[in-house]
Amino acid sequence: MTFEIFEKLYPIVDSWIQSTLAAHAGKKRAVALCGFPRLPHYFSDETLASSKVVLVDRLPVPPLSRMGLPQFAEFERGNFNGITYLDTFFLKPAVAKDEATHFHELIHVIQWRILGTKEFLRMYADGLERFGYWMSPLEKMAYDAEAAFSRSVAFDAEKLVSDALTKMR
Q: pLDDT digit string (tens) for 86-131?
A: 999 999 999 999 999 999 999 999 999 999 999 999 999 999 999 9
pLDDT band at 169 (very low <50, low <70, confident <90, very high): confident
| Least confident interval from 10-14, 76-80, 114-118, 124-128 | 76-80
Give me the pLDDT at residue 1, please: 83
Bin 55: left if φ > 0, else alpha if -120 < ψ < 50, else beta.
beta
Q: Does residue 21 contact residue 85 with C-beta atoms inside 8 Å?
A: yes
Q: Does residue 102 contact residue 157 with C-beta atoms inside 8 Å?
A: no
Full-model pTM: 0.96
Q: pLDDT digit string (tens) for 40-65?
A: 999 999 999 999 999 999 999 999 99
Give me the pLDDT at residue 93, please: 97
86: which residues sit within 8 A by CB, 6+ positions away?
Answer: 17, 21, 109, 112, 117
Q: From start to end of the chain, where are the E strands?
A: 29-30, 52-55, 82-85, 88-91
